[in-house]
């Protein structure tokens, strides 16, 4: 049995989270040879998203520093699966298709798989202005990084967890999504992009199209001109305080200190992420 971690960032998604968690087909994944842990990263929600997710059986990581990228970094630090799969907590991504997507990852023999939402059949699910912005940013990514990914902003990726330690992904915010793809390609990781269904969002959009679009452009230029520095392995942790399931606390584990025993259920990550 292989282990899958489904990592879901959530900022005030109380109205969606139960349905999102229920859409992960844990039983079907088991039949396909996968054990599944679901990790919800609560990014300082004020509507009880984290508590509800925990009550429903998910592992909840608290990341007090707002930002989509910050949330993912905390979730990836916590995840223990052989493979990580991601998706928003807003009902847009087809988490119910994970068994088939994992089969594609295997059959393609790649380490990192991203997804393309920019299909005609998905047009109803995306605002026209977002669609234009996504196409534009995707063209620029393709030109700058010389790859063939159609959708630079898709937030559903499925990859071997070992890949994460080989990437230098810095964005704290929405640019994380393009950066992880561009960086995987830049580092020579074997990549593939597969088409997915994209569904109408539940709840309220957290993206600010103008601000996030502008930041994405700036990030693309910074990334393209960044030197491809060798990655410094994370130093071993000198101490760790692991919280109990109920009391909350601080977990200072990093990817180099996996010998600290089973992951706690709820983690407050260090604030300097």
Ligand X SMILES: Nc1nc2c(ncn2[C@@H]2O[C@H](COP(=O)(O)OP(=O)(O)O)[C@@H](O)[C@H]2O)c(=O)[nH]1
Site of interaction with ligand X (CB under 6 A): 9-11, 13, 43, 66-68, 71, 88-90, 155, 174, 205-207
Question: Is residue 151 near Mg ion by the rule CB under 5 A?
Answer: no
* Cα angle 140, 142, 148; round to 5: 155
Distance in Å, CB of 10 to ligand X, minimum: 5
Rounded CA-CA distance 97/185 in Å is 24
CB atoms closer than 10 angstroms to residue 147: 16
Decide: is 90 part of the binding site for Mg ion (CB under 5 A). yes
Assess 193 for contact with Mg ion (CB under 5 A).
no
- 19, containing H or E segment: helix 14-22
CB of 258 to ligand X, least distance (A): 25
Size of the site for Mg ion (CB under 5 A): 3
CA distance 238 to 252: 9
Q: How far is the CB of 92 from Mg ion (least distance, A)?
A: 5
Shortest reach from residue 247's CB to Mg ion, in Å:
32
71 binds, among ligand X, Mg ion, none (CB under 5 to 8 A by kind): ligand X
88 lies in the binding site for Mg ion (CB under 5 A): yes
Stretch in the footprint of Mg ion (CB under 5 A) among 28-36, 52-60, 84-92, 109-117:
84-92
238: left (phi over 0), alpha (psi -120 to 50) or beta: alpha
Q: Taking a C-beta distance cutoff of 8 angstroms, is the pair 157, 180 a contact?
A: yes
């Amino acid at each position: 049995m292989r282990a899958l971690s489904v990592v879901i960032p959530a900022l005030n998604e109380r109205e969606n989270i139960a349905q999102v968690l229920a859409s992960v087909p844990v039983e079907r994944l088991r039949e396909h040879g996968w054990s599944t842990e679901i990790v919800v990263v609560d990014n300082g929600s004020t509507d009880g998203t984290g508590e509800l997710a925990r009550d429903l059986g998910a592992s909840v990581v608290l990341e007090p520093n707002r930002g989509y990228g910050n949330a993912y970094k905390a979730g990836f630090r916590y995840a223990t699966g052989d493979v990580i799969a991601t998706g928003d907590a807003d009902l847009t991504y087809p988490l119910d298709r994970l068994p088939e997507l994992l089969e594609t990852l295997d059959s393609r023999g790649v380490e990192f798989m991203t997804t393309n939402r920019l299909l005609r059949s998905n047009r109803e699910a995306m605002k026209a202005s977002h669609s234009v912005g996504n196409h534009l940013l995707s063209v620029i990514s393709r030109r700058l990084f010389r790859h063939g990914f159609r959708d630079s902003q898709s937030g559903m990726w499925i990859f071997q967890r070992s890949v994460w330690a080989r990437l230098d992904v810095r964005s704290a915010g929405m640019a994380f999504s393009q950066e992880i793809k561009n960086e995987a390609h830049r580092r020579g990781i074997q990549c593939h992009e597969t088409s997915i269904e994209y569904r109408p969002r539940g709840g309220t959009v957290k993206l600010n199209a103008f601000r996030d679009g502008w930041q994405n452009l700036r990030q693309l230029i910074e990334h393209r001109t960044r030197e491809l520095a060798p990655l410094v392995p994370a130093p071993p942790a000198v101490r760790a305080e692991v919280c109990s399931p109920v009391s909350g606390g601080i977990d200072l584990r990093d990817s180099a200190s996996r010998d600290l025993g089973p992951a706690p259920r709820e983690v407050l990550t260090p604030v300097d992420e």
